[in-house]
A and B are shown apart, each in its own frame.
Chain A
Amino acid sequence: MDVGQMQKRLLDYMNSLLKEGILDSQFAQLQQLQDESNPDFVAEVVNLFFTDSENLINDLSNALGQQNVDFKKVDSCVHQLKGSSASIGAQRLKNTCISFRKFCDEQNLQACLMCLQEMQQEYLLLRSKLDVLLQVEKQIVAAGGSIPIMEF
């Protein structure tokens, strides 16, 4: 596959992610920030995000698994995750966090647990998609092409 085709494939992929709401314009912003002085910016941020999120989700599971659930803690975790998602442009995950926070306010344990499950699913989905994306980008770069930037 030549560079042009790969670039097109990347664009299509991004479009689909956009349409599904998995990613939003913030991600494109991140891509814009990648340049010669900062060639791996996107990958770095994404990896950072993955690490952070996994920790947070683990913390959440723990917190919700307790006898007396500390909703304040849960809330702060979710808040963090929301912030991260927003920064990276993970729209669906961010929305899930927003709903999660609401249930936290109401101290609705059942709903929180359901949200947590949803959150995990979203996270896994996002992770797989982003992996693919990064792969393709690496391939393009290896083939000597430039990563096309999306304009939202």
Chain B
Amino acid sequence: MMESCNCIEPQWPADELLMKYQYISDFFIALAYFSIPLELIYFVKKSAVFPYRWVLVQFGAFIVLCGATHLINLWTFSMHSRTVEVVMTSAKVLTAAVSCVTALMLVHIIPDLLSVKTRELFLKNKAAELDREMGLIRTQEETGRHVRMLTHEIRSTLDRHTILKTTLVELGRTLALEECALWMPTRTGLELQLSYTLHQQNPVGYTVPIHLPVINQVFSSNRAVKISPNSPVARIRPLAGKYMPGEVVAVRVPLLHLSNFQINDWPELSTKRYALMVLMLPSDSARQWHVHELELVEVVADQVAVALSHAAILEESMRARDLLMEQNVALDLARREAETAIRARNDFLAVMNHEMRTPMHAIIALSSLLQETELTPEQRLMVETIMKSSNLLATLINDVLDLSRLEDGSLQLDDETFNLHALFREVLNLIKPVASVKKLHLTLNLAPDLPEVAVGDEKRLMQIILNIVGNAVKFSKGGTISITSFVAKAEYLRDAKTPEFFPVPSDTHFYLRVQVKDSGSGISPQDLPKLFTKFAQNQARLAARSSSGSGLGLAICKRFVNLMDGYIWIESEGLGKGCTATFIVKLGIPEQLKESKFLVLPKVPGNHVHANLAGLKVLVMDDNSVSRAVTKGLLLHLGCDVTTVSSSSECLHAVSEEQKVVFMDICLPGMDGYEVAVQIRERFAKRHERPLIVALTGHVDKMTKENCMRVGMDGVILKPVSLDKMRTVLSDLLKHRVSFEAI
């Protein structure tokens, strides 16, 4: 049967059942193969990320062709035409080609796909690691926050107790501790005492010796140290029958005191005191101390130390402030008491001043009156002694009162114009009698440029000079006392003895320098500084003195000199070598002082007459012709009507009611001017008829003055008399009917 159909017979005989199964399988394969690419396309389209699209296309093609092959294979099970065979063949060829290409391609692609997977794994691991680290950081930050909060709590109070309590509480909370305790060193420093715990309210004085090895171990390091739960410091609560006590850590807390800090000097470790902080983890918790927890504990311990030192400083300053307040109160009280005392003293002085002087004056006045009456010699002696003693007492009272006023600063110096030369002369005259009794030679040396007139306190300056010269006389038994006085120039003023004294003369002031030198008993060098001290008597001079004194004289002098802006000092070479007292005081220059000494004045025209002196009838009694002539000329010049006599008898003869003034010389021996005066007084009983009697004498001392006063004279003038003086005296006489100021 050779048919001319181009049919192709299958190779194998058609076994019906087997063929059927093959036929169904091929059909399903084709179906699967066609559906796979559809699925791929669908899901790839869905996913955004797929790098190998063209591979997909290739793979799709491969699968489709495989499917096509198997599909076409379905027709080959029965008689099929040549076309089908051709299609089948071409499909197979194509499939083969694409399959090979795909196979080749997969060699390249599969490693890539595998590596993608590896990277994915790696990234996952990394992510896990970062998560872990994040967890750690968070924990640390948490810890830091706790520390900050704790520190804030601790530092927000300056009360020690609160600081420590807060520390324990916060630590307990942060670290979830079972127990927390603080051991403080006792005062002796030999034991540690349980001071604060977290859970026990009042720890009873539980002490532990400080030199235990475990404690030394903790104290020697500034880290938190793990210690055994069985050590004495950790066994503070009764074991409640738990199995495993939690881990215990101890750390030292430095206690700083102010005394530990010197300026520029840091405290040494050996002098530090420490407290011990013990922290216990909860038992049976299997928790362990982590490093960050230990660090937290150390930081807290440091902060506590700082907070405690701040609290200590505050306590110190509070205490100091309280002390100051107390002292203030005490000082105030003392000041008020002192003021009261001063007031009381001033009142006392003021009263005493008056009260003491009144009886004194009464005594002196009455004694002097008594002296003038008829007395037996013994009585006279007694009265003289009374007078001497009361004078001394009066001087003493005055000195003391003066001195207290000087010290008070309440003494005011007078400021008047006075005659400086006259002052010195008067001093000389006052001292001369005493000096001549002791056979002392007095010399006065006034510098030519010493102003005649000065402005100042005449009375007190005289007091100063008299005191010094008096001392010189008192303590000398012979020899010379020389008084020199000159204007201190700037060169002299820079003395080695007065380094701190720099007086500056000016147009209105000059500095008077007076030096009194004696050759008496001298002063020993160790006594020199005490001279001006109140009431301190020089021993040697005490022995030498014959008259008593209060020891205040020099002290008063010094104060007066100081008040006059001056300086006073005494030099002596030693005992028996005499001494030199020098002082400088400031005096004013009166405005009317003329510069030139010698002036050509026009002759005084006519009589230079004082209004009420014209024609005044006066009588002059003097047996010395020259002085008589001079006195007459003086009075004539003043315009008086002058009669002169040269003896007492003539005087008594010539005196009449018409004479208003009688001038008589009393210093001539053999001529008892006093007697004349007495007789004149007797003759003219009525006061207004009697002429005024003025004594002229060459030297004036107290004795003379007293005698004149005693006989009832109205004035004393020192010869030689100047024109001005005479004029003044006469004016005074006529005005006041007395003139004893002329001395």
CB distance from B650 to the nearest CB of A (A): 17
- Name the residue among B600, B606, B630, B637 with the largest chain A CB count within 10 angstroms: B630
Spot the interface stretch: A43-51, A113-121, A125-133: A43-51
Query: Quick check: A26 and B629 within 8 Å, CB to CB?
Result: no
Who on chain B is nearest to A145 by CB? B603
Q: Which residues of B are found within 8 Å of A151, using beta-carbon distances?
A: 594, 597-599, 601
Q: Are B598 and A15 in contact (CB under 8 A)?
A: yes
Are B629 and A44 within 8 A (Cβ)? Answer: yes
Q: How far is the CB of B545 from chain A (nearest CB, A)?
A: 26
Q: In the complex, how many angstroms separate the beta carbon of A62 from the nearest chain B beta carbon?
A: 19
Set of chain A residues within 8 Å of B549, measured between Cβ atoms: none
A84–B626 touching, CB < 8 Å: yes
State whether the Cβ of A63 lies closer than 8 Å to any Cβ in chain B: no
**Structural contact, B606 and A83, CB atoms closer than 8 A:** no
Residues of A within 8 A of B723 (CB): 29, 32-33
Return chain B residues, CB-CB under 8 Å to A82: 698
Least CB distance from A74 to B in Å reads 12
A150 to B597, CA, bound (A): 8
Contact B668–A83 (Cβ < 8 Å): yes
Residues from chain B with Cβ under 8 Å of A35 in the complex: 603-608, 637
Chain B, range 95-147, C-beta contacts under 8 Å to A: none
CA distance A37 to B640 in the complex (A): 12
B162 at the interface (CB under 8 A from A): no
| Cβ-based interface call for B634 (8 A) | yes
Check: A139 CB closer than 8 A to any chain B CB: no
Proximity string of chain A (41-85) to chain B, C-beta cutoff 8 Å, 1 when within and 0 when not: 100110011001000000000000000000000011001101110
Q: How far does the alpha carbon of A152 sit from the alpha carbon of B601 in the complex, in Å?
A: 12
Report the separation of the CA atoms of residues A76 and B602 in the bound assembly, to the nearest whole angstrom: 41
B601 A87 Cβ-Cβ under 8 A: no
Take A35-B607, A36-B606, A89-B720 as given contacts and tell me if A84 and B624 are in contact as well, using a CB distance cutoff of 8 Å. Answer: yes
Interface residue total, chain B, C-beta cutoff 8 A: 35
Contact of B601 with A148 in the complex, beta carbons under 8 Å: yes
Q: Which residues of A contact B603 (CB under 8 A)?
A: 35, 146-147, 149
Nearest CB in chain A to that of B633: its residue: A33
* Residues A87 and B604 in contact in the complex (CB < 8 Å), given A30-B630, A45-B630, A52-B625: no
- In B574-601, which residues have CB < 8 Å from any A CB? 594, 597-601
Chain A residue nearest in CB terms to B726: A29
Q: How far is the CA of A150 from the CA of B631 in the complex (A)?
A: 20
Chain B residues positioned under 8 Å from A86 (CB to CB): 627, 698, 719-720
**How many positions in chain A have a CB within 8 Å of any CB in the partner chain?**
37
- In the bound complex, CA of A152 to CA of B448 (Å): 11
Contacts of A84 in B (CB 8 A): 624-627
Q: B664-695 interface mask toward A, CB cutoff 8 Å, 1 = contact, 0 = none?
A: 01011110000000000000000000000000
Q: In the complex, are the beta carbons of B720 and A87 less than 8 A apart?
A: yes
> Which of chain A's residues have a CB closer than 8 A to the CB of B665?
83
Say if the beta carbon of A38 comes within 8 Å of chain B. yes
Interface of B is mostly: loop
A83 & B624 in contact (Cβ 8 Å cutoff): yes
* Interface hub of B601, B602, B607, B720 (most chain A Cβ within 10 A): B720
Does B358 make an interface contact (CB < 8 A)? no
In the complex the two chains form, is B624's CB within 8 Å of A11's CB?
Answer: no
The interface residues of chain A lying within 8 Å CB-to-CB of B631 are 87
> Does A88 sit within 8 A of B, measured CB to CB?
yes
Q: Which of B633-668 touch A at CB < 8 Å?
A: 633-634, 636-637, 665, 667-668
Q: Once the chains bind, are B670 and A88 in contact (CB under 8 Å)?
A: no
Residue B722 lies at the interface, judged by CB distance under 8 Å to chain A: yes
A25, A45, A146, A147: the one contacting B626 at CB < 8 Å is A45
A5 to B601 CA separation, bound complex (whole angstroms): 16
Expressed in whole angstroms, the minimum distance between the Cβ of B506 and any Cβ of chain A is 25
Residues of B near A89 (CB, < 8 A) are 720
- A41 and B607 alpha carbons, distance in the complex (Å): 14
Q: Which residues of B contact A45 (CB under 8 A)?
A: 626, 629-630, 633
- A33, B597: Cβ atoms closer than 8 Å: no
- Return B507 CB to nearest CB of chain A, in Å: 22
Contacts of B636 in A (CB 8 A): 33, 37-38
CA distance A32 to B724 in the complex (A): 11
Residue of A nearest to B601 (CB): A149
Q: Within the complex, what minimum Cβ distance (angstroms) separates B607 from chain A?
A: 6
**Residue among B607, B626, B629 with most chain A CB within 10 A:** B626
Q: Chain B: which residue is nearest A72 at the CB level?
A: B669
The answer to whether A79 and B720 touch across the interface, beta carbons within 8 angstroms, is: no
A87 contacts across to B, CB distance below 8 A = 624, 626-627, 629-631, 719-720
What is the bound-complex CA distance between A90 and B443, given in angstroms?
Answer: 19
Report the nearest A residue to B599, measured CB to CB: A151
Residue of B nearest to A87 (CB): B627
B627 adjacent to A79 (CB under 8 Å) = no
Cβ contact within 8 Å between A150 and B698: no
A145 to chain B, nearest CB (A): 10
Interchain CA distance A48-B623 in the complex, whole Å: 13
1/0 contact string of A18-35 vs chain B (CB within 8 Å): 000000011001101101
- Residues on the B chain within 8 Å of A152, using CB: 597
With A33-B723, A86-B719, A86-B720 as known contacts, state yes or no: A11 contacts B600, CB within 8 Å: yes
B668 touching A79, Cβ below 8 Å: yes
* Contact between B598 and A32, CB atoms less than 8 A apart: no
A80 to B606, CA, bound (A): 33
A75 partner residues in chain B, CB cutoff 8 A: 669
Point out the residues of chain B lying under 8 angstroms from A80, CB to CB: 623-624, 668
Question: Which of A30, A146, A147, A149 has a CB less than 8 Å from the CB of B633?
Answer: A30
- A-B contact sample (12 more), CB < 8 A, given A80-B668, A146-B602: A15-B598, A29-B634, A35-B605, A35-B608, A35-B637, A37-B636, A38-B633, A83-B624, A84-B626, A88-B630, A150-B598, A151-B601
A residues contacting B by CB (< 8 A) are 7, 11, 15, 25-26, 29-30, 32-33, 35-38, 41, 44-45, 48-49, 52, 75-76, 79-80, 82-84, 86-89, 146-152
7 pairs from A and B in contact (CB 8 Å cutoff):
A29-B723, A32-B637, A49-B626, A52-B624, A83-B665, A83-B668, A88-B626
Chain B interface (Cβ within 8 Å of chain A)?
594, 597-608, 623-627, 629-631, 633-634, 636-637, 665, 667-670, 698, 719-720, 722-723
